[in-house]
Amino acid sequence: AAGLMWFRRDLRAHDNVALAQALRHCARVHAVFVFDRPILDPLPRQDRRVSFIRESLVQLDEALRTLAGSAQAGLIVRHAAAADEVPRLARELRVQAVFANHDDEPAALARDAGVRAALTAAGIALHTFKDHTIFERREVLTQAGTPFSVFTPYQRAWLAKADDVDFEPHAVEPHAHALADRPATYGRPVPLLSEIGFEPAALPIPAGIEGASKLLENFAERIDRYHELRDFPALRGPSYLGVHLRFGTLSIRQAAGAARQRAARGSAGAATWLKELIWREFYFQILANFAHVADASGGSHSFRREYDAIEWERGPGADALFAAWCEGRTGYPLVDAAMRQLASTGYMHNRLRMVAASFLCKDLGLDWRSGERWFARLLNDFELASNNGGWQWASSSGCDAQPWFRIFNPVTQSRRFDTDGRFIRRYVPELAGLEGAALHAPWTASSAQLAQAGVRLGLDYPRPVVDHAAARERTLRRYAVVKAAA
């Protein structure tokens, strides 16, 4: 039989469940990636993720050819609506089955249902597999058989269940000879960005399978101190592997398996990192089991439905505050540094995601969904489930979220997590001359301090767009509808 491997968020040739299955069951396997127009068309012409994907496809194509031992093998890449293109290609290549790994975003599930129907009508099967998580959907449940909505018991159940999991890679080599040559008429393997209407964007981290393994190697030297360093944005504490987990250039079995082994040997850093990977799966299963949090057309709703009654600021004043937040000119240096890091690199440190998100909804009084959309547009590692979960954590509307009356003080956070101001100075250079408390809250600086640092408040750097203490009071009143409903 012949098969078609459809790559989506699993851009690697090794330890890939659907690929391993296709090779095992089919005598001839073609491989395709479709730059899916419904996803790509609304994006700005310069998008770091599209650059990341293209670079990763070049490496995937190379890896497939090496695996097949044939220069004629490799990836077929298309730029079209995947929902039409995949069934069309499957018919054209005369395959009996299409193989793919799960993508549980609501829009992807809807697309796949359409593909399945079209394939079935043509007598072609669609086989899909779990690949991007250790556990998915309803695999980890409470004793009552219901999905978890609290993290700690979920983590406990996850860890217990993981004892029975085989973290070994799904071997593709034994059947690699099944990889078919690309039909000669199919042209260049991976199109240039310009051919799909995009411009190259600078990436802050290396892409593709090679980039993932470089970062993983580098992180292996730092993982034991992860728990101590991870909260300080000026330090190289985290792994920066988010984007690789998002596009599957890194296998979750490899990442979680290594962390688990190292944690078992007593590494507190590895245990903490594994916990973060479990948070990722926690939010995946929230999205899968509580479908109201995000719908296929991109709308998000509070996990705790009563939070949708909150009235957020609206109108031109609110629009101006939102623009100040997006552009990193709120007058709160740590928030601004965070937002500028996001805009200029596509990355934002986890501590800062929490601070910036809390600031949007609890200092500016703006709907968390506007922030969620902004992050979705810019984050290299944008993951619908984690982004929605993170925003709902910060706005208190989520499962296991920050309580609504707990409100981050952006200045205290700044003093605690960027004490010497190294991170702020990197992204808000106009304040570099300020020292100590003044750097965290320039409006409290004396005119002599400001003059010495060459900072004219309101000209070189904005005055705060809101007063935190007053905003805090407004927020407590705003959230009172939730208390009333509880």
- Note the residues at the interface with ligand FAD (CB under 6 A): 230, 238-242, 245, 276-277, 279-280, 283, 350, 353-354, 357, 375, 379, 381-383, 386-387, 389-391, 394
Token pair for 120: 């079935």
218, 289, 350, 409: the catalytic one is: 350
Token pair for 236: 């190289």
Q: Annotated binding residue at 280?
A: yes
Token pair for 421: 């101001």
In the residue annotation, 312 being an active-site residue is answered as yes
Distance (Å, rounded) from C-alpha 245 to C-alpha 141? Answer: 24
Distance (Å, rounded) from C-alpha 483 to C-alpha 486? Answer: 5
Please report, for residues 80, 188, 469, the alpha-carbon distance to residue 84 in angstroms, rounded to integers and kept in the order given: 8, 21, 54
SS3 167: coil
Instruction: Kindly provide the b/e burial profile for residues 12-32, where b requires at least 16 CB atoms within 10 angstroms of the residue's own CB.
Output: bbbbbbbbbbbbebbebbbbb
Residue entry with tokens 């770091």: 48
172 phi, psi to nearest 5 deg: -105, -20
Distance (Å, rounded) from C-alpha 398 to C-alpha 388? Answer: 9
Are 139 and 165 in contact by the 8 Å Cβ rule? The answer is no
Tell me how far, at minimum, the Cβ of 357 lies from ligand FAD, in Å.
4
Name which of 34 and 401 has its Cβ closer to ligand FAD: 401
Q: Annotated binding residue at 473?
A: no
Q: Annotated binding residue at 443?
A: no
Token pair for 148: 């978890």
Distance (Å, rounded) from C-alpha 408 to C-alpha 334? Answer: 12
Name which of 119 and 352 has its Cβ closer to ligand FAD: 352
Tell me how far, at minimum, the Cβ of 365 lies from ligand FAD, in Å.
17
* Count helices and strands in the chain by DSSP H and E runs: 22, 5
6, 325, 391, 404: the catalytic one is: 391
Tell me how far, at minimum, the Cβ of 393 lies from ligand FAD, in Å.
6
Please report, for residues 16, 394, 468, the alpha-carbon distance to residue 480 in angstroms, rounded to integers and kept in the order given: 49, 17, 18
Tell me how far, at minimum, the Cβ of 97 lies from ligand FAD, in Å.
31
276, 306, 313, 430: the catalytic one is: 276
Name which of 234 and 379 has its Cβ closer to ligand FAD: 379
In the residue annotation, 368 being an active-site residue is answered as yes
- Alpha-carbon 79 to chain mean position: 23
CB neighbours of 363 closer than 8 A, spacing ≥ 6? 332, 407, 410, 466, 468, 471, 472, 475
Q: Annotated binding residue at 196?
A: no
Q: How far apart are the first and last CA of the chain?
A: 58
Q: Annotated binding residue at 158?
A: no
Tell me how far, at minimum, the Cβ of 389 lies from ligand FAD, in Å.
6
Q: Annotated binding residue at 430?
A: no
Are 281 and 135 in contact by the 8 Å Cβ rule? The answer is yes
Name which of 461 and 479 has its Cβ closer to ligand FAD: 479
In the residue annotation, 158 being an active-site residue is answered as no
105, 210, 279, 306: the catalytic one is: 279
Name which of 321 and 379 has its Cβ closer to ligand FAD: 379
Name which of 55 and 400 has its Cβ closer to ligand FAD: 400
Tell me how far, at minimum, the Cβ of 379 lies from ligand FAD, in Å.
5
Name which of 167 and 382 has its Cβ closer to ligand FAD: 382
Name which of 394 and 482 has its Cβ closer to ligand FAD: 394
SS3 29: strand
Pairing of strands 2-7, 97-101: parallel
Q: Annotated binding residue at 273?
A: yes
Q: How many residues does the chain have?
A: 486
Count of beta carbons in the 10 Å neighbourhood of residue 184: 7
368, 374, 393, 404: the catalytic one is: 368
Q: Annotated binding residue at 281?
A: yes
Tell me how far, at minimum, the Cβ of 380 lies from ligand FAD, in Å.
9
139, 306, 312, 430: the catalytic one is: 312
In the residue annotation, 279 being an active-site residue is answered as yes
Residue entry with tokens 């799960």: 102
Tell me how far, at minimum, the Cβ of 151 lies from ligand FAD, in Å.
10
Could you tell me which residues are annotated as the binding site for FAD? Answer: 226, 273, 276-283
List residues with catalytic annotation.
276, 279, 312, 350, 368, 391
